[in-house]
Amino acid sequence: MIPQRIVAIGSNSLFGGVYPIDESKTAPLTYWKKGYFYLMNDATELENSVKDVCKSENVPYFDIWSEWMKEDYRQWLFEDGLHANAVGHQRIFDKLRDFLDMTN
């Protein structure tokens, strides 16, 4: 489903990948959909799928994952272990601004 949506949107788009999660807080989820698990393997699979489709369809891809994996990314996650906190969003913004400057 994701590959078809990426292709349907077209090349005037930019896709941002996902960022890694803190599995100690998402397996199982305790705040939403109790009993469900969101695992690092799931996030990795999604990241790789989106990246591969963007590459094959020549859609610009903003890679958050690789940048965050260089350091202890958990410091940039909200307490749920799944979403970026304020500092994480600032990091994403800064990197995205640099990325857009490079592609224009």
Distance of alpha carbon 64 from alpha carbon 89, whole angstroms: 11
Which two three-digit tokens encode residue 79?
């307490």
Task: Write out pLDDT tens, residues 1-16.
Answer: 455 555 555 556 788 8
Task: Write out pLDDT tens, residues 23-76.
Answer: 999 998 877 777 788 899 999 999 999 999 889 888 889 999 999 999 999 999
Task: Write out pLDDT tens, residues 74-96.
Answer: 999 999 999 999 999 999 999 99
Spatial CB neighbours of 25, under 8 Å, sequence gap ≥ 6: 79, 80, 81, 82
pLDDT value for 2: 53
pLDDT value for 85: 98
The one-letter amino acid at 22: D
In the chain the domains, ranked by start, together with CATH numbers, are 2-96 (3.40.50.1110)
